[in-house]
Amino acid sequence: AQSVTQLGSHVSVSEGALVLLRCNYSSSVPPYLFWYVQYPNQGLQLLLKYTSAATLVKGINGFEAEFKKSETSFHLTKPSAHMSDAAEYFCAVSPLFSGGYNKLIFGAGTRLAVHP
Amino acid sequence: DARVTQTPRHKVTEMGQEVTMRCQPILGHNTVFWYRQTMMQGLELLAYFRNRAPLDDSGMPKDRFSAEMPDATLATLKIQPSEPRDSAVYFCASGLGVLNGVDNEQFFGPGTRLTVL
């Protein structure tokens, strides 16, 4: 069964510092991969997605993620953190052979804190 | 601006009462998902539908939870009887469900925060 592991349930960075949120997946076939963000008291919002077109994926709000097959990783980065980036981030995988249905398997989430 | 809507946004009820949560998926989407989010368990998939037919509800406690789609514009999640351990935020999401395609994004509603006393 496919799964997603997010290393670090909490990450704290200074404003202006690099943001790195880690995600590893387990799958014998590279799946589709997603990063979602959840702001307090809101639903999840798509940041970016990998669909095999390009290994470096750019998303909204200055975030990007790189798919590395050899490492089965899809880490999320942002060069310079902003206070408004404080939120919870979820990595998710969509199995390629799930009967055609866009079922997502979510990681446990990483809460990002940004301090002045 | 198309979005998934959920009602109510907040619900406080007493143990044993029936709770019904509603979701209006984005017009044209053919897949609907129900999730439960708690601090302890994170995001759990409860059920999902395609073209209004339930495909997988293995994540739901069968004895008290039920999910339906009376029509393409309404999905419901019902708990009867409710228990304190059901307290959580319940999210509905919808998507296009393209066959092995790239458009696998799910669009989430704002959630229903349920508190069972």
Contacting residues of A for B52, CB less than 8 Å apart: none
Question: In terms of CA atoms, which chain A residue is nearest residue B30?
Answer: A101
Could you tell me the CA-to-CA distances from A27 to A23, A90, B42, B90, B95 in Å, in that order?
A: 13, 18, 21, 28, 23
Decide if B27 contacts B73 (C-beta within 8 A). yes
- Whole-angstrom Cα distance, residue A67 to residue A65? 7
C-beta atoms of B97 and A100 within 8 A: yes
User: Please, which pLDDT band fits residue B89 given cuts at 50, 70 and 90?
Assistant: very high
Question: In terms of CA atoms, which chain B residue is nearest residue A34?
Answer: B105
Question: In terms of CA atoms, which chain A residue is nearest residue B92?
Answer: A43
Could you tell me the CA-to-CA distances from A45 to A37, A42, A98, B93 in Å, in that order?
A: 5, 9, 22, 11
User: Mind listing the pLDDT tens digit for each residue in A9-29?
Assistant: 999 999 999 999 999 998 766
User: Please, which pLDDT band fits residue B103 given cuts at 50, 70 and 90?
Assistant: low
- Compare CB distances from B106 to A42, A99, A102 and report the shortest one's residue: A102
B84-92 mean pLDDT: 96
Q: Is A62 helix (H, G, I), strand (E, B) or coil?
A: helix
Q: Assess B96–A contact: CB distance below 8 Å, yes or no.
A: yes
Q: End-to-end CA distance of chain A, in Å?
A: 41
Q: Which amino acid belongs to residue B10?
A: H
The yes-or-no verdict on residue B101 having pLDDT over 70 is no
A63 vs B50, residue with greater confidence: A63
Q: Assess B25–A contact: CB distance below 8 Å, yes or no.
A: no
pLDDT of residue A101: 59
CB atoms under 10 Å from CB of A5, counted, come to 14
Question: In terms of CA atoms, which chain A residue is nearest residue B102?
Answer: A51
Name every residue whose Cβ is closer than 8 Å to that of residue B37 and which is 6 or more positions away in sequence. B43, B44, B88, B89, B90, B91, B111
The yes-or-no verdict on residue B105 having pLDDT over 90 is no
Which of B21, B26, B34, B106 is the best mutation test for A, with the most CBs of A within 10 A?
Answer: B106
Which chain A residues touch B if contact means CB-CB below 8 Å?
Answer: 32, 34, 36, 41-46, 49, 51-53, 90, 94, 96-97, 99-104, 106, 108-109
User: Please, which pLDDT band fits residue B98 given cuts at 50, 70 and 90?
Assistant: low
The yes-or-no verdict on residue A100 having pLDDT over 60 is no
User: Mind listing the pLDDT tens digit for each residue in B2-54?
Assistant: 899 999 999 999 999 999 999 999 998 988 999 999 988 889 899 989 889 98
pLDDT of residue A12: 97
C-beta atoms of B108 and A45 within 8 A: yes
